[in-house]
Amino acid sequence: MKKLRCAIVLVCVFVFGIAAHGDPFAVEVVEYGGLGDSPYNDPSTVLGRPTISIFDSWAGPAGADVGISMVYGTWTPDTVLSLNSGGYVTVRFDGPVYNDPLNAYGMDFIVFGNSFFPGKSGWVDADTDMAAYRINSTGGVFGSAEPLVVSVSQDGTTWYTFTSKTAGEYWPTQAFAQWDAVNGQWDPDSIADFTRPMNPDLLPISFGNLTVAEALLLYDGSAGGTAFDIGELGLDWVEYVRVEGWGNIDGFARVSADNVNPVPEPASAAVLLIGIGFFARRRLLRR
């Protein structure tokens, strides 16, 4: 019976695990300090979904809306929080962010900055053709002035710090998943997945000399950002995330339960439940 109970629990995790996740983005700023100069010092800008587009007053005579992409990072005061050297911001998620080995690439949450790949042919605006605009040869980014150190906590008091990576540089935010070559614009119906981590095996040089449209294939629907695995710190879950350093932050997201390594589909799980029930009934009849 012990094995049977374990099997039932596993199936329930497969079928109902999504319900355990709350809002995918940070919902509360808990603490902050050492912020940048006004007007880039509003901590609430890091809450909710990261930026997908901004109005750029320099884009043409009358300005224009420009989509945030790997070659155009967000920069307006209402979309990004600036941290001075030694500055920090702490946010809370709506419920625990779990260390889920089934998450894509084993990652559990993502931090978004405003870095971008400098291109090889001038400034980006609303009319830039992403099917022709090429990323620099090395895949280097214009990002944070210093590493943004990321720490996590379960209670907001005891903190655990990642030493394997920092945030704010890779990967630049890519708010849209498709470039509409016919109309020369980002497809407004193809908003990228801010809860999908980038492939950790990618290297900056992989993007060198690619057009932005070609580089979209490497993003594979992800909106970018730096993803972290809390299991690396020996934790099962966290609720608070803190970023420290000199740079800019746009948002935080938990990895969606939809972005998982292969697991049984709902129909398969249902069949498995039936099978377990049949197995249990046979055991009872044998007694």
Does residue 249 carry a pLDDT above 70? yes
Instruction: Write out pLDDT tens, residues 51-104.
Output: 999 999 888 788 899 999 999 999 999 999 999 999 999 999 999 999 999 999
The model's confidence at residue 21, banded by pLDDT at 50, 70 and 90, is: low
Residue 3 has a pLDDT of 47
AA letter at 9: V
Query: Span 256-261, mean pLDDT?
Result: 77
Residue 283 has a pLDDT of 42
Does residue 273 carry a pLDDT above 60? no
Q: What is the residue-averaged pLDDT of the chain?
A: 87
Structure tokens at 200: 């950790």
Closest CA to 47 of 255, 257, 259, 249: 249
Q: How far apart are CA 161 and CA 237, in angstroms?
A: 14
Residue 58 has a pLDDT of 85
Rounded to the nearest 5 degrees, what angle is found at the Cα of 28, between the Cα atoms of 13 and 97? 20
Instruction: Write out pLDDT tens, residues 195-209.
Output: 999 999 999 999 999
The model's confidence at residue 145, banded by pLDDT at 50, 70 and 90, is: confident
End-to-end CA distance of the chain, in Å?
Answer: 13
Whether residue 171 is preceded by a cis peptide bond, meaning omega within 30 degrees of 0, is yes
Does residue 139 carry a pLDDT above 80? yes
Q: How far apart are CA 230 and CA 162, in angstroms?
A: 9
In order, the DSSP letters of 146-215 are S-BEEEEESSSSS-EE--S--BSSSS----BS-EETTTTEE-TT-B-BTTSPPPTT--GGGGTT-BHHHH
249 in Cβ contact with 44 (< 8 Å):
no
Closest CA to 222 of 268, 264, 260, 174: 174
AA letter at 74: T
